[in-house]
Chain A
Amino acid sequence: MSSKPKIGIYGLTGCAGDQLVILNCEDELLDIVGATDIRSFPMAMSGGDENCPLDIVFIDGTVVQPKDEEMLKRLRERANLLIAVGTCAVWGGVPAMENKFSREEVKKRVYGPTGDLFKTITPQPLSSFVKVDLSISGCPIEKEQLLQAVASLLHGDLPRLPNYAVCTECKMAEYPCLLIEKGHLCLGPITVAGCKARCPSYGRPCIGCRGPVEEANISSEVRLLKEKGFTPSDIQNRLRTFAGAADSLQMESLKEGTNA
């Protein structure tokens, strides 16, 4: 009989990259295993318990297939806390990039006739179906944020994740601004921090893989990108890549100065 929190780690449709980040915590894995009771982690171990109640469930991936929705709802019933892990789980991610098109059309273009062999629904983040207690975004997630989240959850608390833009971390690290100096299509001002501005550190613009920061001022970002000569479709494509399902990133419904 163990008093350690019972944990499950699951993946829906996606590349499973966030589960891989968990497995890549090589130096900390023993501490995690020591502090928790991992009951099921299908990607890493067989013979998991698929029925027991869970204290915490970590889920990566997007709801794309009907079976994802069923599994998600079942996990929600089993778990006290449900944690969305990765941009797919939090925002819909790459699978939700082309939600403007019908599923049938997308399936046909991607899979041809074999697309008829499986069912898909409009790709959506976990929060479209169930209550999510904590979101850890990133494509993939940052190992440090995951470990902080686990440590905080073990203490019965929620972690304090950045709620500010990538620009803040970019300037803290003193990287030259790629919007100003290079005129790149950088989403740093509207993307949530936590990556320590990894792409700008290599001279590459932020492509928004962590999803939008809360209250992102998209209309101002779009305006400044247009002034640099980017077309609405350049901008739209970049905005849609990782968080196409996010309401705040819909260019068609942009309101001037939201929450100004």
Chain B
Amino acid sequence: MTATHAAPVQPLTLAEKIWEAHVVRRAAGEPDLLYIDMHFIHEVTSAQAFDGLRLAGRPVRRPDLTIATEDHNTPTLEIDKPIADPVSRVQIETLRNNCAEFGVRLHSLGDANQGVVHVIGPQLGLTQPGMTIVCGDSHTSTHGAFGAMAFGIGTSEVEHVLATQTLPLKPFKTMAVNVTGSLRPGVSAKDVILAVIAQIGTGGGQGYVIEYRGQAIRELSMEGRMTVCNMSIEAGARAGLIAPDDTTYAYLKDRAHAPQGSDWDDALAYWSTLRTDEGASFDTEITIDADALTPFVTWGTNPGQGSPLGDSVPDPAAVEDAGQRAELQRALDYMGLTPGLPLREISVDTVFLGSCTNGRLEDLRAAAEVLKGRKVAEGVRMLVVPGSARVRLEAEAEGLDTVFKEAGAEWRFAGCSMCLGMNPDQLAPGERSASTSNRNFEGRQGKGGRTHLVSPLVAAATAVTGKLAAPSDLLEV
């Protein structure tokens, strides 16, 4: 966002509108002081922030705009027993003590609303259009799917929001990602965002808030939109958002924290203004053709290193720039891949279905549809980790757990789990996964582990064949 948008007649982008509506104080030569409507908290990035408050004798300014859950560290087995890892246990107990001391509502392990912070916010109806939302977690961009300005912050900023309910921030630049046309069957939101990241690179979105637009985006469910916005950070963008529409309103209606009665009408009137004005300009625009997309998978060690499933492992020898060539070689060495190998010939040991990217009910349904009547391949371990305790309950009510268990997959309790391997769900050194999570960094899922990022459909098909596969491949089996 540039300084020139202050003139009242100038058309604004959605991101600029939300920003302007939250400026508490603007002074020359200083960052804007931005009001924060909702603050999500979890155990890993909050302890030091609460400590800071205690040292300074400061209260939480708005506990009623703050909510906490336990997700990063929590076990996905035997959740009724004490957490085995003593260090994890202390971290979770610290969160519980801090929430009790400062009056913050906490959804603990065992509570139906416990789960991955970016799954429970929307599920509770706490994520609404036009809000500013922060959390000490980079995937806070997920909430942008509702037309909110949502972004990840560090622990110092967590403390700042707890103390003041504001953040000093310089406006972000704006980028439009237009996804034209319609997705073909078997191609999902995950494939869209992996293709976007491959196109603009892990640094391409740096300094920007991305607005996803176009027919293919409008046609996505809220779950799909969350998947897209979730991975904005993997393109370097601080936030990603999508203008709210009837799909958004239908998702929100009657959720626990959604507006009721006349408040609902007032909210709807406001939400309907939340779109980029005709004639507003973005600092950057890119276009992706949805009709041309096919299932997308990563082969490297950052989320930008991906290709359509039909492609092969790229050849470093074909890269001109010496630095980039070395970087590519390094990624392939870590991944244990040979240039020219068709991606469909990559065998995996583990399939992980879950995370804030793809741990919602629709994701589990998509995978279960593929697994129904089929078996997970011999020697392959498949973990299904619902994004929240409620997603787990809803899936069980539909019998999805039975489908997964009959196929030979493990049905777990909710949490971040193998997405980042802070709990016991980890890859062993050299092990290879197809994972519906968001990061394929070296060691992300366990020291020495090798990660291929995939959609839930590709994850399920891969579990059946033991090699990277799309559901369409299964028809030939």
Partners in one complex: no
Chain B contact residues, CB within 8 Å of chain A: none
